[in-house]
Amino acid sequence: MQKTIRLSVSEAARLFGISDKTIRRAIQDKKINYIVVAGRYKVNFESLVRWSQEKTHIKNKTEKYGLGQYVDKWKISSTLFSPRPPKDPSDN
């Protein structure tokens, strides 16, 4: 069974290099999955990654200010969790 990773709004904003307001707008527009725990939003990490890859301006901010600036160092091969997947399958 896969464990669901949930982040607070501020954690999500820091990781993706965007503002809290942007995360809250995505929640309000039902673009990302969340639950409410003790009156606070907990954002589903997987839906957050998908949403961030669909929006060009969010993707660019993530690459410049958030997690994306470190992806090359990690060499992540999964296209789901990598903002910049390898162009050639032999790069894995």
Please give the pLDDT value at position 66.
78
CA 75 to chain centre: 17
Q: What's the pLDDT band for 91 if we cut at 50, 70, 90? A: low
Give residue-wise pLDDT tens across range 7-36: 999 999 998 889 999 999 999 999 999 999
Report phi then psi at 4, rounded to 5: -85, 130
- C-alpha 62/C-alpha 60 separation (Å) is 5
| pLDDT one-digit tens code per residue, 28-61 | 999 999 999 999 999 999 999 889 888 887 887 8
Q: Looking at residue 83, what DSSP letter applies?
A: S
Report pTM: 0.67
Residues 6-81, CATH architecture: Orthogonal Bundle (1.10)
Edge-to-edge strand ranges of the sheet holding 40-44: 6-8, 40-44, 34-37
Domain boundaries, the chain: 6-81
Q: Helices then strands (H, E): number in the chain?
A: 5, 3
